[in-house]
Structure 1
Amino acid sequence: MPRTLIITNDFPPRAGGIESFVHELALRRADSVVVYCSSPTRRDDAADPGFDLRQPFPIVRDAARVLLPTPRVAARARAIVGLEHCDSVLYGAAAPLGLLAAGLRGRVRRQVALTHGHETGWSGLPGAREALRRVGETTDAVTYLGDYTRRRLARALSAPAAARMRHLPPGVDTDRFHPGAGGTEIRARHGLGGRPVVVCVSRLVPRKGQDTLLRAWPRVLADVPDAALLIVGDGPYADRLRAAARDTESVVFTGPVPADELPAHHDAADVFAMPCRTRRGGLDVEGLGMVYLEASATGVPVVAGDSGGAPDAVLDGETGLVVDGSRPGPTARALIGLLRDPDRAAQMGARGREWVSRDWTWDRAARTLDELLTAP
């Protein structure tokens, strides 16, 4: 049976939205994929040392921590294509690994490049924009997450490549993310009891807006004195965020948590909040925000920042609220409104669960990918 080679830097046990996206797509083609990816960090290995062995498809790990479109990586990709009888290639992220496509033309029948948020940054940079254009010209399709990313990417691609773009957003496993997924245990673990709880699940980096949450938090406490903020995740911004929250006992940092505990952390929330913001003149932007969809699937209303494609993951006023993530005031007002009106919050959570269950399924994403990889 012909196989698809997935070439990616973003793959578990490394944690992240792109990693989950690529892994879920691989699982739905488990009998016909081979994954070629970079090596995990020591921290990732420690978190799940047996990950590769449990997968229902072969994984080829490169020794490098980051794969780049070098002659060595290109040669290894060609070797895997031949040994595994691959007739198609899926690039887990178009930038930069989609640049390998030129060297694989004629060796495989179809090549598809996924895009996320960082490719929109590439689309605005001289040099990177031209590289993205080459990816579009040497692959058979470039995917996009939503209207925002489509518009940004289309400006960088040639007209024929832009015409071949296809909508391929992620899905959510609503069997994993559901109301009652274990939030009571998470609340007990952190001594939160029945307090109103705001949860943020994300990498701790400036774009995600945890600092905006911390700046908004005194205003929230003034109106909801018993509220608690649970910040879930890890990243290079961790020390600065912990320092900023040092004077309050209502903020809890969990550090990194296992992937199988993420639904429970969402379920611990009365409100999910990640007030992301665009940085560096549009180069650092949110592509979509799977965490909003996962929170909605868990029946939790969301407060989202207005960065890039994040509003595509929220029905503003129905499943949550979209705010200016660069300022604490709008975030504080949104959180106070939802925490003080639990009936409205519950209605938004229920609407979010309904919306995600209908329109954001992995089966739909897998069908789209199958069409792209098998097209004549």
Structure 2
Amino acid sequence: MLHVVQPVTGGVPRVVLDLIQQHLTAPDAPRLLVACPEQGPLAGWVTAAGADWLRWDATRSPGTALPSEIRALARLIARTRPGLVHAHSAKAGLAARLALRGRVPTVFQPHAWSFEAVEGTAARLARRWEVGAARWASRIVCVSEAERATGEAAGVRGHWTVVPNGVDTDRFRPEPPAHDVLPRARRAPHDAPPALAGTDPRAPLVVCVARLCRQKGQDVLLRAWPEVVRRVPGARLALVGDGPDGERLRAGSPEGVIFAGAAEDPAPWYRAADLVVLPSRWEGMALAPLEAMACGRPVLLTDVAGARESLAPGHRAYCLVPPGDPAALARAAAGLLLDAPRRAALGAQGRRHVLTTHDVRQSARAVAAVYRDILGAERPKCRESTTS
């Protein structure tokens, strides 16, 4: 079993790691291989988890090196001879499907469609590629019904399975009860991130955990922030993550915003937050809101693919705003910051929702069922070709 992964930062490698960790606990666990670049944390993560890492040098986006990246991946596949290849995200899906062209059972998981990330001619070319390349995927796994619908609307025809993202609900959990004796407004969480040192723990804290890039919409949140502070004096904002837009976002940031950098473990940030915001322009189904809800924190999301499906029933009225609308984002964020009882109720309900609907063990079992289904369908074909 070979996972091909690029990008190696953000939510995609965490999904891959969770899958590997869960699948390695199975009694009949196969040998698990992961082909990805050395840069980023994934190579070390998978090795520590007990899988085999294969170095595959590949850039995040297609470029002039793409032909050599495809040849290198084809050599890795020929050497390791996996029974199934699972390609994660657009770039890995591009390289793996061109390297294999259907010769090995292939699962493609977009983790948000490539044509949503670009505009104009680039979007048309990406859409045309996805439509044509679908024939080389034994299964297309989407993380939300909305992501599947987006693909179908673009003309992608394939054998679909929707497996909602899951998170580790043991790792992402509320603070221990002993720390809940005092109201949140009068204390800091026991594992508060060092970047909050020197700030007033009584002041409401909004946290956004995401790569600093156009997709995640931190620029919209920064435009909304002065109005939030006007309505909720003293409110604090922390952007947790790094990425290509970091310098630009810092240059245009209102005074006092905390740029915390990337956090290998974002759980302390979620637990420190009064509200977790993700103002994305597009998604498949983001991990950060699920992790925040698992920690018992209320979330505020933009109404993009997967957002509605990730929320608990009844939360849409309070927790969804239109994408790209700073005024709506500011009104909703301020309203939640000023309503502590509602935040507490949303956080508790969100935790229960994630436990029943988005536990990583459920997701891993669903993906394993996809593998079994594909391999079971392939075996008769192999026997026929052997005897013909």
Measured against the shorter chain, the TM-score band is 0.7 to 0.9
Secondary structure in structure 1 of the residue aligned to 2:301:
strand
Structure 1 pair 157–24 and aligned structure 2 pair: CA distance change class (3 A)? farther
Aligned counterparts of 1:106 and 1:217: Cα–Cα separation in 2: 49
Partner residue of 2:357 out of 350, 356, 359:
359
Partner residue of 2:301 out of 304, 311, 316:
304
The answer as to 2:213 corresponding to 1:218 is no
Counterpart in the other structure of 1:165: 160
The total of aligned residue pairs comes to 350
Counterpart in the other structure of 1:24: 18
Code of the residue aligned with 2:302 in structure 1: it is G
TM-score (norm 2): 0.81
Aligned counterparts of 2:2 and 2:69: Cα–Cα separation in 1: 13
CA contact 1:172–1:361 (8 Å) conserved in 2:
yes
Counterpart in the other structure of 1:230: 238
Aligned counterparts of 1:329 and 1:343: Cα–Cα separation in 2: 24
The structural deviation recorded for 1:105 is: 5.7
Aligned counterparts of 2:147 and 2:132: Cα–Cα separation in 1: 18
Code of the residue aligned with 1:177 in structure 2: it is F
Aligned counterparts of 2:35 and 2:295: Cα–Cα separation in 1: 33
Aligned counterparts of 2:193 and 2:54: Cα–Cα separation in 1: 39
Secondary structure in structure 2 of the residue aligned to 1:177:
coil
The structural deviation recorded for 1:303 is: 0.8
Per-residue CA deviations over 1:68-117 (Å, capped at 9, x if unaligned) read 69554445444444543421111112555345336536753x21111121
Structure 1 pair 156–73 and aligned structure 2 pair: CA distance change class (3 A)? same
Structure 1 pair 115–189 and aligned structure 2 pair: CA distance change class (3 A)? closer
Report the identity percentage: 30
Partner residue of 1:62 out of 34, 56, 60:
56
Partner residue of 2:205 out of 187, 194, 197:
197
Secondary structure in structure 1 of the residue aligned to 2:164:
coil
Structure 1 pair 203–113 and aligned structure 2 pair: CA distance change class (3 A)? same
Secondary structure in structure 2 of the residue aligned to 1:127:
helix
Aligned counterparts of 2:293 and 2:18: Cα–Cα separation in 1: 19
Gaps of at least 5 residues in structure 1 are 278-284
Aligned counterparts of 1:147 and 1:348: Cα–Cα separation in 2: 23
Counterpart in the other structure of 1:265: 269
Structure 1 pair 171–240 and aligned structure 2 pair: CA distance change class (3 A)? same
Code of the residue aligned with 1:16 in structure 2: it is G
Per-residue CA deviations over 1:149-191 (Å, capped at 9, x if unaligned) read 11111134554x2xx1100222111111111179443266523
CA contact 1:123–1:153 (8 Å) conserved in 2:
no
Aligned counterparts of 1:241 and 1:122: Cα–Cα separation in 2: 19
Gaps of at least 5 residues in structure 2 are 177-187, 378-388
CA contact 1:91–1:114 (8 Å) conserved in 2:
yes
Secondary structure in structure 2 of the residue aligned to 1:29:
helix
Counterpart in the other structure of 1:100: 96
TM-score (norm 1): 0.83
Per-residue CA deviations over 1:267-307 (Å, capped at 9, x if unaligned) read 11011112223xxxxxxx22222111111111111111123
Partner residue of 1:335 out of 320, 333, 336:
333
Code of the residue aligned with 1:86 in structure 2: it is P
Counterpart in the other structure of 1:137: 135
Secondary structure in structure 2 of the residue aligned to 1:179:
coil
Aligned counterparts of 2:36 and 2:285: Cα–Cα separation in 1: 23
Counterpart in the other structure of 1:282: none
Aligned counterparts of 1:255 and 1:156: Cα–Cα separation in 2: 36
